[in-house]
Structure 1
Amino acid sequence: MKNRNIDFSMVLASTVHDMKNSLGMLLNSLDELRVENEDKLDDFSRFNTLQYEAERIHNDLVQLLGIYRLGENNLSAHMEEHFVPDFLSEHLARHTPLLKGLDIECVIDAQEINGFFDADLLTGALNNIINNAIRYTKTRIRLTAHERNGYLVIGVEDDGGGYPEHMQHSGTLSFKSLDFNTGSTSLGLFFVSAIADLHSEGKRTGCIKLHNGGSLGGGIFEIWLP
């Protein structure tokens, strides 16, 4: 019998990449359909569910592809300078149709500062965090960006019930800390933590912090970048 030497992990990664691109096109089409049929749809609830779940699956595929590349030591941060308020505004625009459909208010409170980071990697991380905030918030989400102790701190706040105590975290997660025997593996948390950790300056590296409170009184997810 022939040994075909099939690298299944590579096949899987390639398939995930294609699925991610297809879902990206689907999400763009859903945004266009929402705009074109705004005066025709009496009930957006099913449409909102469709768009939210498609966005969630898209984020999961981005996350899987990123973790695969991490495992292959093939993921690195390409640092460029960005004006943070503009970056957050452009990022929020992607979520605006769904937020509007769900009647969730989202505001940006960002200092007028520049930051050095990989925009593509940070976009993937923020998509994950915002999608989670949409799931648990009641009516409001707040994006923040400030300089603290020499770090750029980008935060996502919501007015939901907050993070349970076992999820409140500071620092960097390791893959070995994930528990695949439970219903929640915190794989998304690990992905965002890994993205933050790829950003470094000298001996300092990025990290995440999860806690509750803030101006909205719910959960706060912060990415600290040196």
Structure 2
Amino acid sequence: MKNSLGMLLNTLSAMVEASPPKDAQQAKLFSTLEYEAARINGELVQLLSLYKMDEKTLAILIDEHHVIDIIEEQIARNYALLTSRDISVEVDCDSDLAWYFDSELLGGVLNNLVVNCARYCRERLLISASEDNGYLCISVADDGQGYPETMLLGPAPQASVSFNSGNTRLGLLFARKVLSLHKSKRGQGYMTIENGGPLGGGVLKLHLP
């Protein structure tokens, strides 16, 4: 399924390049097609990664990276989606800030956050990163309605599934698993969720030791 979706995305991209959209409405339709296919592909990758974690076969490649690079990579990856929805993204991160983490796994977590926030925010996203008490803190804030109360209570031992909304909270499970794989003498990675924040909506923070 993942390989077939990859071929679909490549074909769609080639089609759009060969026959550019004629107007804004068509451009939005093409963007929606690309977004939905990419979202399914991303969720399949998350499922495969979770399976490998459970089987203890997932390779963790932790190295030093500049944090600004991984943030800008995810923004560029979702440029079409953000543009089609008229969403502006502000980044607050020191260009010299570097940390140790698995760039592919953390990139997957950040990508999922950007995609989800783009779906629920009104017109603004703020991604910031800084050192906080020996941890790297990457914060993704939006100007939407905020997270539901059930998500603010923390991870439940058995999270419910909504067939009406299709919400399985797979992204949150994946994020928590990835963060827990990052460990040091200070502890292990974790995430926090709150409402309010600098843009008045939801704020999700990733903490890495």
TM above 0.5, yes or no, is yes
* 8 Å CA contact 2:125, 2:142 repeated in 1: yes
RMSD: 2.2
Gaps of 5+ in 2: none
Q: 1:221 to 1:24 in 2, by over 3 A?
A: farther
- Tell me the equivalent position of 2:70: 87
Cα shift at 1:105: 0.9
- Tell me the equivalent position of 2:61: 78
* 8 Å CA contact 1:76, 1:198 repeated in 2: no
Cα shift at 1:129: 1.2
1:45-60 aligned at under 5 Å gives the runs 45-60=28-43
TM-score, normalization: structure 1?
0.81
Tell me which amino acid in the other structure corresponds to 1:216.
L
The whole-number CA distance in structure 1 between the counterparts of 2:19 and 2:203 is 35
SS of equivalent to 2:125: strand
- Tell me the equivalent position of 1:204: 187
Tell me which amino acid in the other structure corresponds to 2:127.
L
Q: 1:39 to 1:131 in 2, by over 3 A?
A: closer
SS of equivalent to 1:194: helix
- Does residue 179 (structure 1) correspond to residue 160 (structure 2)? The answer is yes
- Tell me the equivalent position of 1:123: 107
Q: 1:21 to 1:126 in 2, by over 3 A?
A: farther
The whole-number CA distance in structure 2 between the counterparts of 1:156 and 1:191 is 16
1:139 to 118, 123, 139: 123
The whole-number CA distance in structure 2 between the counterparts of 1:31 and 1:101 is 16
SS of equivalent to 2:68: helix
Tell me which amino acid in the other structure corresponds to 2:135.
Y
1:148-167 aligned at under 5 Å gives the runs 148-167=132-151
TM-score, normalization: structure 2?
0.87
* 8 Å CA contact 2:99, 2:136 repeated in 1: yes
- Does residue 23 (structure 1) correspond to residue 12 (structure 2)? The answer is no
Tell me which structure has the larger Cα radius of gyration: 1
The whole-number CA distance in structure 1 between the counterparts of 2:185 and 2:11 is 43
- Tell me the equivalent position of 1:217: 200
The whole-number CA distance in structure 2 between the counterparts of 1:88 and 1:32 is 26
Q: 1:169 to 1:116 in 2, by over 3 A?
A: farther
Question: Cα deviation per residue 1:113-172 (whole Å; 9 max; x = unaligned)?
Answer: 1010000101111121111111101111111111111111112111110001111155xx
SS of equivalent to 1:177: coil
Identity of aligned residues (%): 42
- Tell me the equivalent position of 1:40: 22
- Tell me the equivalent position of 1:193: 176
Tell me which amino acid in the other structure corresponds to 1:123.
G
* 8 Å CA contact 1:178, 1:187 repeated in 2: no
